[in-house]
Chains A and B, each alone.
Chain A
């Protein structure tokens, strides 16, 4: 069964460093999302992406964050200069169209030290 795959599963980075989190959606997915979950808290929406454009972003998704789908397969989330408070689990999700259920990847645990 096709899966949404995220790499790496765990990344440790120093404060101020750039990180890129990668997601390989299921091949027929067109809508893509990133969510964040700080340890012990709820899942929060970061950004949605369709047709190579951001369709919506939350207030969390500030200028330090960017997304792209450079090669038509990988969907990436970049954090330019990480802060301690960026430590969280980051989930990628994808769906075939706007009104269907999105499938989640297994997540990337980002630890900023």
Chain B
């Protein structure tokens, strides 16, 4: 059974600082997604990572994937308050003719001015 773990679960950081969220998964998967979720809202897709060594960047967020270590990271550079949200990683396995997502536990990020 595929398990996806994130750490930390909660992260409080000051504006301007850098930090990294980690996502580990237990078995081979096809692709890895990072999502942002604001309270009471839906999931906003941030990145999709398809292959080993993939790196994607958007603004102050950068995601990377190491398929051999089954590890993805979401790095936040010079955090700003607007980045406060819960971040989920999710991995897919194309079984049974579909591509269901298995989500991590989420990291609730709070940026303190």
Contact of A56 with B by CB under 8 A: yes
Contact of B112 with A by CB under 8 A: no
Q: Evaluate contact between B101 and A99: CB separation under 8 angstroms.
A: no
Q: Evaluate contact between B98 and A31: CB separation under 8 angstroms.
A: yes
Q: Evaluate contact between A102 and B88: CB separation under 8 angstroms.
A: no
On chain B, the residues within 8 Å of A48 by CB distance are 96, 98, 100
B105 in complex: contacting residue of A42, A103, A104, A107, CB < 8 Å: A42
On chain A, the residues within 8 Å of B98 by CB distance are 31, 33, 48, 50, 55-56, 98
Q: Evaluate contact between A105 and B42: CB separation under 8 angstroms.
A: yes
User: Chain A: interface residue count, which band?
Assistant: 20 to 34
Q: A29 to nearest B CB, angstroms?
A: 12
Contact of B63 with A by CB under 8 A: no
Where chain A touches its partner, the secondary structure class is strand
On chain B, the residues within 8 Å of A55 by CB distance are 96-98
The answer to whether A101 and B48 touch (CB under 8 A), given A48-B98, A91-B42, A106-B41, is yes
In the docked arrangement, what's the CA distance between A35 and B43, Å?
11
Can you spell out 25 A-B residue pairs with CB atoms less than 8 angstroms apart? A31-B98, A33-B100, A33-B101, A35-B101, A42-B103, A42-B104, A42-B105, A42-B106, A43-B43, A43-B90, A45-B100, A50-B97, A50-B98, A55-B98, A56-B98, A91-B42, A95-B99, A98-B94, A98-B97, A98-B99, A99-B30, A101-B48, A102-B101, A104-B43, A106-B42
Chain B residues in the interface with A (C-beta under 8 A)? 30, 33, 40-43, 45, 48, 88, 90, 94-106
Closest 5 CB pairs of A and B: A48-B98, A56-B96, A43-B103, A55-B98, A106-B42
